Amino acid sequence: MPFESAWRLKEEMISGDLDPVEHAAHVLERIRRWEGSVHAYLSLRREDEILGDTGRAVERLRSGKARPLEGLLVAVKDNIMTLDLPTTAASKMLKGFKPGYEATVVERLRAAGAIITGKTNMDEFAMGSTTELSAYGPTRNPVDLERVPGGSSGGSAAVLAYGGADLALGSDTGGSIRLPASFTGTVGLKPTYGAVSRYGLIPYANSLEQIGPMGRSVRDVALLFSVIAGWDPRDATTLRRTGWVDPENLAPLDPHSLRICTPEELLEGTDASVAKRFDSLLGELEESGAVVEEVRIPVLREALPAYYTIAMAEAASNLARYDGSLYPCRPSTRPRSWEELVERTRTECFGSEVKRRILMGVYVLSEGYRDQFYLAATRIRRLIRNAMMAATRRCIVASPTGPVPAPRLGERIGDPLKLYALDVQTVTANLAGIPSLSQPMGRVMGLPVGVQWMGPSMGEETLLRLGLLVEEVLGYGRG
């Protein structure tokens, strides 16, 4: 990692070796240097405000009243509501949208002393896997500017990769945190469904998505997760559980107690070079005492179509509200009736991928097709959940995070099926509601690639401890 981990920065700030204001100034300088070419932020707070906040953090750090994220700079994905900055989900539909309420996770960030830098780019309404489908232009991968950073939380991942924030929030509906982590050499966690409040997250597919932490090291992700996780009375789907992880006392897993399962269905279609890197990582873990077992879970072959069917159905429903009455985007000419307003607003203000998914979602929910598509998908989902619950009781389920390293811009978005195929490994965890951690496992053709670990429901701590072990084995995360 070219930049220090948030955990190290935090330690240095507490010990007094690092001046938070000086640090913030460095981050702001990188933002100025990189944003022109990367375009990871959709909106940024004013520099003097960020520096002002950092100054106040200095006082708290000096007086020993530092909170868990005191003085750290955090970027927030643009589908998460913030009071001070607009929240647009990278859609023209919500240009400048500031509805005056804040996501629970953002409240928790502020209460923990975090300083928010800005809002990060994404695929419109989180529908995409490359961050090329933003209404405000694509984000490029700082590792290689000709390539995509992955999506839909590509802006957050890119910011971490070029040092434009210390930590970031993403959201993961079918891999939207993990794929960008894989493509940019960063770490991301898709939490157990219900671990993190979705209050204030602009919904794409409610039953699948979670807000999750992104960072440059496993302990960074543990730190941010410990702040945002926990029951929220404003989200009926959050779990009533406390004490998710203690980042301070998180030790690497003992490899001798580690059992890894690799379902062959999750390796089909993976680039040989990526599969090779994955195999060699598993070999290294085996050498240090872990047991690795190849397994078959045939129903996982159905995961991608089941995932897209459910996601599109929920999307069609969630996006019905954008009808030109309560939201900023209006048709270019004055409509003559309410019906025309709805039609023209939706035609003009949504991007084409969003419209594609709405139409398909309406189709799979329609009378006469619902059984064949939507209900069939929910049945497959149940089978996948059962299979994954059973598997993760015995072992950590592993696969490469994505089938390939970061593609070039334009390479995938021309063909929706090729685009959707990028999520083939990641959607399983969302369908099953189980946690999944993606972390770097090395480079292929000079590009970072990630490995993803899936654990039992509420098994975040085990995954993060495994992550620490892998960092040790690979010599990462020391920075």
Partner 1 sequence: MVGVKIGLEIHVQLTEAGSKLFCGCRSNYRGLPPNTNVCPVCLGLPGALPVPQPGPVEAAIAASMALGCRLPWAIVFTRKHYFYPDLPKNYQITEYEGAHGAPVCLGAVFHYLDPGSWEWRSVRIRRINLEEDPGRSQYGDGGIMASPVVMVDYNRSGVPLLEVVTEPDLRGPRDARSMVEYLLLTLEYIGATNPRLEGAFRVDANVSVGGGERVEIKNIGSTLEVERALRYEILRQTKIIEAGGKVERETRHWDSTRGVTRPLRHKEAEEEYLYFPDPDLPPLPITGKLKERARSRITLLPGEVYKTITGHGVGREVAWSITQHPPLARLYLTASEHVADKKTLARLLGVDLKGALKDLGRTPSEPETLPPPETVITLVKLVEEGELPYDAVRGLVLPKLAQNPKTPIESLIPEKAKVTDSLIEAVLMEERKALCDLLRGKKKALNYLVGAVIRRVGKAAVDPRAIRGMIEKKAREIERLCLEAESS
Give the binding site for partner 1 (CB under 8 A): 80-81, 87, 89, 94, 99, 101, 103, 198-203, 205-207, 233-237, 313-314, 316-318, 320-321, 323, 325-326, 336-339, 342, 362, 365-367, 370, 374-375, 378
Burial category of 235 from C-beta neighbours within 10 Å (exposed 0-12, middle 13-18, buried 19 and up): middle
Least Å from the CB of residue 320 to partner 1: 4
Which of 265, 270, 269, 226 minimizes the C-alpha distance to 247?
226
Dihedral of CA atoms 469, 15, 156, 207 in degrees, nearest 10, equals 60
* Helix and strand counts by DSSP (H, E) for the chain: 15, 11
Whole-number minimum distance, CB 375 to partner 1, in Å?
A: 8
- Per-residue HEC secondary structure of 165-188 comes to CCEEEEEECCCCCHHHHHHHCCEE
The nearest distance, CB 346 to partner 1, in angstroms, is 10
Measured distance CA(407)–CA(144) in Å, rounded: 10
Least Å from the CB of residue 357 to partner 1: 14
User: Which candidate, 144, 150, 41, places its Cα nearest to that of 452?
Assistant: 150
- Selecting among 91, 134, 152, 156, the annotated active-site residue is 152
Residue 115 is which amino acid?
I
Annotated active-site residue 176? The verdict is yes
- What span, in angstroms and rounded, lies between the C-alpha atoms of 34 and 159? 9
Pairwise CA distance, residues 217 & 451, whole Å: 14
Give the span between the Cα atoms of 425 and 337, in whole angstroms. Answer: 46
Q: Considering 10, 43, 77, 91, which one is annotated as catalytic?
A: 77
Q: Which is nearer to partner 1, 87 or 117 (CB)?
A: 87
Residue with Cβ nearer partner 1 (1 or 205): 205
As measured in angstroms, the least distance from the Cβ of 228 to partner 1 is 15
- The residue among 278 and 374 lying less far from partner 1, judged by its C-beta, is 374
Question: Cβ 159 to partner 1, closest distance in Å?
Answer: 22
208: left (phi over 0), alpha (psi -120 to 50) or beta: alpha
Identity of the residue, 211 or 261, whose beta carbon is nearer to partner 1 in the bound complex: 211
For residues 288-307, b (16+ Cβ closer than 10 Å) or e, as one string? eebebeebebebbebbbebb
Rounded least distance, CB 206 to partner 1, Å: 4
Q: In terms of CB distance, is 162 or 374 closer to partner 1?
A: 374
276 flagged as catalytic: no
Q: Looking at the DSSP assignment, which residues form a beta bridge with residue 437? A: 189, 453
Q: Which run of H or of E encompasses 154?
A: helix 154-162
The pair phi, psi for residue 28, each rounded to 5°, is -65, -35
Q: With respect to partner 1, which residue has the nearer C-beta, 235 or 284? A: 235
Amino acid at 198: R
Of the pair 427, 444, the CB lying nearest partner 1 is at 427
Interatomic CA distance for residues 108 and 238, integer angstroms? 15
Using CA atoms, how far apart are residues 448 and 183, in angstroms rounded to an integer?
6
- Min. distance of Cβ 156 from partner 1 in angstroms? 17
Q: Which of 476, 429, 471, 477 is nearest to 285 (CA)?
A: 471
Q: What are phi and psi of 196, to 5 degrees?
A: -120, 135
Indicate the SS3 state at residue 274: helix
Q: Is the Cβ of residue 301 or residue 370 nearer to partner 1 in the bound state?
A: 370
- To the nearest whole angstrom, how small is the minimum distance from the Cβ of residue 94 to partner 1? 8
Residue nearer to partner 1 on the CB measure, 310 or 397: 310
Q: How far apart are CA 430 and CA 243, in angstroms?
A: 22
For 248-313, where are the E strands, in sequence order?
259-263, 291-295
| 156 assigned to active site | no
For 370, the token pair is 């619902």
- Reduce the DSSP state of residue 311 to 3 states and report it: helix
Tell me which of 91, 176, 436, 457 is the catalytic residue. 176
Rg (alpha carbons) of the chain, rounded to whole number: 21
Active-site residue list: 77, 152, 176
